[in-house]
Amino acid sequence: MGNATQEKQIAVSVRNVSKKFGKTPVLEDINFEVAEGETIVLLGASGSGKTTILRIIAGLETPDSGSVVLHGKDVTNLPARQRGTGVIFQSYALFPKMTVEKNIGYGLRLRGTPRNEIKESVKRLIELVHLEEHSHKRPSQLSGGQQQRVAIARALAYNPEVLLFDEPFGALDAQIRTTLRREIRALLKSINVPSIFITHDQEEALELGDRIGVLNSGHLEQIDTPFNVYNKPETEFVATFLGAANLLIGVVYEGKIALEKTYLQAREEAKEFQNGQSVKIVFRPEDVFLRKPENLVQNYQELAGGTVEEVNFVGAFERVIVRLDTSTRQPIIVTRPKTETLIFPLETGQKVTAGLVRFRVIPNFTLASERAGKIL
């Protein structure tokens, strides 16, 4: 019980934040909270407003309306220097004329901390980020990954209210990126400081976040666990932005989704919709099973018959494009693990039946203006 209340302690809350640059709205009514020790990843394309949220929390930008609360204190009208956030800039922004030690100690020096205390803290932080042999170097003498660790240590030095990471892996090679991501994840878990990452990289988001917030042109479309955001996307944008997704249009009818000839059982999902309402069903390529028409096992809901149009080997799995036998003759993408390809090899032109393991039902906005989303 005590654990549960601790988990619910809110470190950061962003309430009804809106912001315009000139006449262009950048953020519209953004609401979310970060619990103590939690890591939130704000995922979005460039121009989605994610950097602006971060800057508003840090106090580098003022919202037009709404508020920012850090550990219960409304800081909306406080300047950046009085907020105590730790920002890890994309370029790290390490002070070039200061050594690693000086960079890390800067925040404490500004707070008038006694010299020997600064020395101790800096030493402890340098050990935490494993930069012992680099403490007297200048930032320009360090690798990208080392610079990033200095930036984190520098922000941790003054016990920040929250750590804000602005695309922290953007400037690094793909290889180092993965390693660093894991290191940072482990570090954050060990120090239990709430943190917000912003990124456009979905893989990064899935790996780093306790929860992921997906941003689309200034709207927070969904904020949930990586599992739910991936498997239960609430909007078309979320479905297509995180990984590949197939979309089919259907109509709700008494707990079922009608897709031309077939009906998909959808008791739970259909609840939110009215009979006759147009919806989209969303499913991941790996949630489709392909079988010979007569062999479809009942664990899967039958979608439709189709013809294999393309079979591509893409390393760990196989990607198949199947053109459905529906009136629109829509192609869907299916991925199959190696084991599956051995049991049931496919050839171009082959007739198959597609079954779904899992799917999601979302409203079908017919106008693009209702929701800007990708159409597959």
Partner 1 sequence: MSANLSTMRHVHGFDLVKPLSLAAMIAIMLPLILLPLASIFIFGTSKGLTSFWHALTAPEAIFALQLSLVTSFWATLFNVIFGLFAAYVLSKYNFWGRNALFVIISLPTAIPTAVAGFSLLLLWGPFGILGQYLPPEMQIMFTPYAIILANIFVTFPLAFGVIKPVFDTMSHSFEEASATMGATRWQTFWHITLPGLRGAIFSGALLTFARSVGEFGSTILVSGNLAGRTQTAPLYIFAKFNEGQVEAANAIAIVLAIFSFLIFSILFFARDWLEAE
Q: Would you tell me which residues interact with partner 1 (CB under 8 A)?
A: 58-60, 79-87, 89, 91, 93, 95-98, 106-107, 110-111, 154-155, 158
| Cα angle: 148, vertex 126, 57; to 5 degrees | 50
- Write out the DSSP string of 109-172: HHTT--HHHHHHHHHHHHHHTT-GGGTTS-GGGS-HHHHHHHHHHHHHTT--S-EEEESTTTTS
- Minimum gap (Å) between residue 154 Cβ and partner 1: 7
**Residue carrying structure tokens 């262009």:** 24
Nearer to partner 1, 81 or 267 (CB): 81
Q: Quote the tokens at residue 289.
A: 């099973």
Nearer to partner 1, 61 or 286 (CB): 61
Nearer to partner 1, 98 or 251 (CB): 98
> 83: which residues sit within 8 A by CB, 6+ positions away?
58, 59, 70, 75, 161
Cα separation, 109 vs 97, whole angstroms = 16
Nearer to partner 1, 26 or 155 (CB): 155
- Minimum gap (Å) between residue 110 Cβ and partner 1: 5
- Minimum gap (Å) between residue 75 Cβ and partner 1: 12
Nearer to partner 1, 98 or 176 (CB): 98
Nearer to partner 1, 23 or 81 (CB): 81
- Minimum gap (Å) between residue 312 Cβ and partner 1: 43
- Minimum gap (Å) between residue 82 Cβ and partner 1: 8
- Minimum gap (Å) between residue 160 Cβ and partner 1: 9
Q: Quote the tokens at residue 237.
A: 């944008």
Question: 290 pairs with which residues across the strands?
Answer: 354
- Minimum gap (Å) between residue 359 Cβ and partner 1: 44
> How far is C-alpha 12 from the chain's CA centre?
18
Q: Quote the tokens at residue 241.
A: 């932005």
Cα separation, 176 vs 260, whole angstroms = 49
Nearer to partner 1, 149 or 154 (CB): 154
* Helix, strand, coil share (%) of the chain residues, nearest 5: 30, 35, 35
